[in-house]
Amino acid sequence: MTVVTTELLRRFDVPGPRYTSYPTADRFVEAFGEKEYILALQQRRVGSVAKAMPLSLYIHIPFCESLCYYCACNKIITRHPERADVYLRYLSREIDLHTAHCGVGQHVSQLHFGGGTPTFLSDDGLRELMGMLKRSFVLVPGGEYSIEVDPRTVDEQRLALLAELGFNRLSFGVQDFDPEVQKAVHRIQPAEKVFGLVESARKLGFDSVNVDLIYGLPRQTPESFDRTLEQVAQLRPDRIALYAYAHLPERFKSQRRIITAELPMASAKVSMLARSIDAFMNAGYVYVGMDHFALPEDALAVAKRQGRLHRNFQGYSTQPDCDLIGLGVSAIGRVGATYSQNVKTLDEYYDAIDHGHLPVVRGLALTKDDLVRRAVIMALMCQGELLFEPLEQSWLIDFRSYFEAELRQLEEMAEQGLVSISPEGVKVTTMGWFFVRGVAMVFDRYLQADRNRARFSRII
């Protein structure tokens, strides 16, 4: 087992982004709005290269029946299912506003329903939403069509409906099987329920089943989490996402219900992470990077082996860099060299659409420097390796002079055994994967400029 020392924690366990994008979403500005987003959509429509690029869709369903105390997602707690009916009508209108600019019939190779709780929608609601999408876009054969599933909201019949609608990937939110931890975060779901659903998903022929886990939750200990790890190894999902709990009660009201004294210390969190990596690798999983594991035959592990791994707003992905259209409240999109984000409240969302506007509230047009640094950061986050020559050829830069200051900063990390630096490039070590976000932060021009990191969670 890899041991992270107290000294390494003191130096490098600092707040920092997860880098599902670069620049990160906190850098988006209101100067980028609907007009700029429409221009990006129109450029995609007329550009032959852009039209040939795969398109990804993300749909945000914000509703949940009950509150999970750890949650930092944009969600609305309600027991009124009719609220989703209204939301679907507005989603349909937002789709129409998009296709007015990018055209009907764009080919989609990746679709993801997130939330909130997408399975808050009724069977009829799910059918209606998929019908809208298929009328406006072409879901190509062999694409990745996934949905986040709260195990408390589905049974085998609902899973069969999801398969019928075209979903081929499921992600179950488990977090922890320990009953005491579940009580502390207000999310009770027996392990037997999850085991039954995963078995049903396999019978129904889903291509991939993912399980989400969180370490660092209240009442967790390395020993209690070991028991969850054993159960997950028995469950044997195709993929495992293992996230560090980010306790930011000043930003997320629901987290104020968590008793701070019940949270594990940083050293215990490191132990949980190290034991998780060992447990899953011993069970035959490939450590894809940072927070993802996959069975060797899974597409994510194959992409890692072949150097085709990418990272987007949903985490690691097998898809190449592609345009992403985000639909619904707070959804984030990426079209061309731009990022955009929708308004965060239902009232603002409905008001914008009622006035015939796309509900974009902020975004960013990336500069060449942004694009260069994005390539660097994604290479580190996805492959754990940064080769100078390919970047120099792609961006027409001299890497050592362009990033002279950054390479000097990396020298301390090299001395501590987190990276190795050679004439050919930079490589993240086994120990360095614990701190890979910190390695990436060295190349984040915005973060280096302001040093205001309190808004981020700690790396470990």
* Distance, CA of 211 to CA of 203 (rounded, Å): 17
Burial label, 394 (beta-carbon count in 10 A; 0-12, 13-18, 19+): exposed
Domains and CATH numbers, the chain: 1-23+368-460 (1.10.10.920), 25-327 (3.80.30.20)
- Write the DSSP assignment of 202-252 as a string of letters: HHHT-SEEEEEEEES-TT--HHHHHHHHHHHHHH--SEEEEEE----TTT-
Burial label, 139 (beta-carbon count in 10 A; 0-12, 13-18, 19+): middle
Query: Which of the 8 DSSP states describes residue 94?
Result: H
Query: Which of the 8 DSSP states describes residue 89?
Result: H
Nearest to 285 by CA among 270, 307, 304: 304
DSSP H/E element including 171: strand 169-175
* Distance, CA of 37 to CA of 92 (rounded, Å): 19
State the pLDDT at residue 284: 96
State the pLDDT at residue 447: 87
C-alpha R_g of the chain: 22
State pTM to two decimals: 0.92
State the pLDDT at residue 176: 97
> Coil, helix or strand for 57?
strand
Render each residue's pLDDT in the chain as its tens digit; 460 residues: 556 677 787 788 777 888 989 999 999 999 999 999 999 999 888 765 555 677 999 999 999 999 999 998 999 999 999 999 999 999 999 999 999 999 999 999 999 999 999 999 999 999 999 999 999 999 999 999 999 999 999 999 999 999 999 999 999 999 999 999 999 999 999 999 999 999 999 999 999 999 999 999 999 999 999 999 999 999 999 999 999 898 989 989 999 999 999 999 988 988 898 899 899 999 999 988 778 999 999 999 999 888 888 887 877 888 767 899 999 999 999 999 999 999 999 999 999 999 999 999 999 999 999 999 999 999 999 889 999 999 999 999 999 999 999 999 999 999 999 999 999 999 999 889 888 999 999 999 998 776 555 567 677 6
- Alpha-carbon dihedral angle through residues 311, 446, 39, 361, given to the nearest 10 degrees: 90
Q: Are 428 and 385 in contact (CB under 8 A)?
A: yes
* Distance, CA of 148 to CA of 184 (rounded, Å): 22
